[in-house]
């Protein structure tokens, strides 16, 4: 008697679990299908940019589009490079990016160290005030800064692209949090040994906070690469133009014969460095971004 009931319930359990397995499989297929379709939608513009950049103008204009270029035109890339004088723009942007990142790192490390490790009057009040400025939209600063840099005679220089944005309260905040996780005993021990602050920073704090510093570096470089509004206002001459402005300026013509393949090649060239950085340093970018909510 008891034997039969156990086999019955076992059978039931098996049936139920088999049914559950089917449901689970269907749900799983649905999930992958949904994610697959969304991933294709997300990727499509990149795919379209690349294959368009490799087509001839005639093929691009065909009424039935091709999804793979019939004849691969690498020459579009060479043409884009000269048409938008991308070489010059690359050098300018790289220069501004590297110099502003280096200076910004020095300022950020020193400030974060002071806020995290040193005791001074008004420290918490001052830090609170700094955080409060993060609420204010950047446009509010731009109006006066435009006036200030004009008065300083910085118009159309690299200085104007670098100096006004060297201090980022967000980076100081990020690094300060990281520094505070390092036990204070290490600092006190170093003091007893007579190690200087700078040496201690260099030998202990910076290596331990390296991931945050890398995140800051990448975000800052990306910022230079993507900056558009400020450079357009203050440094839109040949010698100092930044890459995004150059790209937009080179292809503003919506009239006449627009060579879209060449335009797409230029866009691809400008996008490539960002993708390379992303592929190799994904982890640092994602870590920095998830805490910022700010693009670039």
Partner 1 sequence: MVDNKQQWKAWLYLSPAIVLLLVFTLWPIINTVRMAFLENYKSLEAAGGATFEFGIGNFLKVIQYKRFLTCLKNTVLLCVLTVPLSTILALLIAVALNSIKPLQRFLQTIFFLPYVTNSIAIGMVFAAMFNIVGAFYGTEQEIIVTAGIINNVIQFFGGEPINWINYGSTYAANITVMTIYIVWNALPFKILVLLGGLQSINKQYYDAAKVDGTSRKRIFTRITVPLLSPMIAYVVITGFIGGFKEYTSIVGIFGEKMGPADDAYRLNTMVGFIYDALSQNNQGRASAAALILFGIILVVTMINGWVSKKRVHF
**What percent helix, strand, coil does the chain show, rounded to 5?**
75, 0, 25
Least CB distance to partner 1 at residue 202 (A): 14
Choosing from 2, 3, 133, 181, the residue that interacts with partner 1 (CB under 8 A) is 133
- How far apart CA 106 and CA 114 sit, in angstroms, is 12
* Binding map of partner 1 across residues 165-194, x = CB under 8 A, - = no contact: xxx----x----------------------
Q: How far is the CB of 156 from partner 1 (least distance, A)?
A: 15
Three-class DSSP category at 293: coil
Going residue by residue from 235 to 274, which x/- string records binding to partner 1, judged by CB under 8 A? ---------x--xx--xx-xxxxx-x--xx--x--xx--x
State yes or no: residue 289 binds partner 1 (CB under 8 A). Answer: yes
DSSP 155-196: TTSSHHHHGGGS--HHHHHHHHHHHHTS-HHHHHHHHHTT--
Dihedral angle over CA of 184, 219, 141, 126, nearest 10:
-10
The b/e string for 96-111 (b: 16+ C-beta within 10 A; e otherwise) is bbebbbeebbeebbeb
Give phi and psi for 44, each to the nearest 5: -55, -45
The size of the interface with partner 1 (CB under 8 A), counted in residues, is: 91
Q: Which stretch binds partner 1 (CB under 8 A): 3-11, 81-89, 179-187, 282-290?
A: 282-290
For residues 135-154, which are near partner 1 according to CB under 8 A?
A: 135-148
How far, in Å, are 117, 118, 192, 200, 218 from residue 189 at the CA level? 13, 15, 5, 10, 33
Give the nearest distance from C-beta 100 to partner 1 in angstroms: 12
- In this complex, which beta carbon is closest to partner 1, that of residue 8 or of residue 229? 229
Site for partner 1 in 195-214 (CB under 8 A): 197
Among positions 97-126, residues that touch partner 1 (CB under 8 A) are: 106-108, 110-111, 113-115, 118-121, 123
Among 11, 13, 237, 278, interactor with partner 1 by CB under 8 A: 278
Q: How far is the CB of 5 from partner 1 (least distance, A)?
A: 22
Hey, is 72 helix, strand or coil? coil
d(CA 29, CA 33): 6
Q: Which residues in 6-65 contact partner 1 (CB under 8 A)? A: 27-28, 31-32, 34-35, 38-39, 41-43, 45-46, 48-49, 52, 60-65
Taking the least distance from each CB to partner 1, the nearer of 149 and 240 is 149
């Amino acid at each position: 008697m008891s034997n039969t009931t156990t086999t019955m319930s076992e059978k039931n359990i098996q049936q139920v679990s088999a049914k559950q397995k089917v449901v689970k499989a269907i749900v799983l297929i649905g999930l992958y299908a949904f994610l697959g379709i969304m991933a294709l939608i997300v990727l499509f513009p990149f795919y379209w940019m690349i294959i368009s950049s490799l087509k001839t103008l005639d093929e691009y204009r065909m009424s039935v589009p091709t999804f793979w270029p019939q004849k691969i035109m690498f020459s579009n890339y060479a043409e884009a490079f000269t048409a938008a004088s991308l070489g010059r723009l690359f050098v300018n942007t790289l220069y501004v990016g590297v110099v502003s990142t280096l200076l910004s790192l020095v300022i950020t490390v020193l400030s974060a160290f002071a806020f995290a490790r040193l005791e001074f009057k008004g420290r918490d009040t001052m830090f609170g005030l700094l955080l409060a400025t993060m609420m204010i939209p950047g446009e509010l600063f731009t109006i006066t800064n435009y006036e200030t840099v004009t008065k300083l005679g910085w118009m159309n220089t690299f200085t104007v692209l670098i100096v006004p944005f060297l201090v980022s309260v967000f980076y100081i905040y990020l690094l300060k949090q990281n520094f505070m996780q390092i036990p204070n005993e290490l600092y006190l021990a170093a003091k007893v040994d007579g190690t200087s602050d700078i040496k201690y920073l260099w030998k202990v704090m910076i290596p331990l906070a390296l991931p945050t510093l890398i995140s800051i570096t990448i975000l800052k470089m990306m910022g230079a690469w993507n900056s558009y509004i400020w450079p357009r206002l203050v440094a839109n001459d040949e010698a100092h133009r930044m890459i995004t402005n150059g790209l937009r300026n080179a292809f503003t013509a919506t009239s006449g014969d627009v060579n879209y393949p060449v335009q797409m090649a230029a866009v691809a060239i400008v996008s490539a460095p960002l993708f390379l950085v992303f592929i190799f340093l994904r982890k640092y970018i994602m870590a920095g971004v998830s805490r910022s909510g700010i693009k670039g």
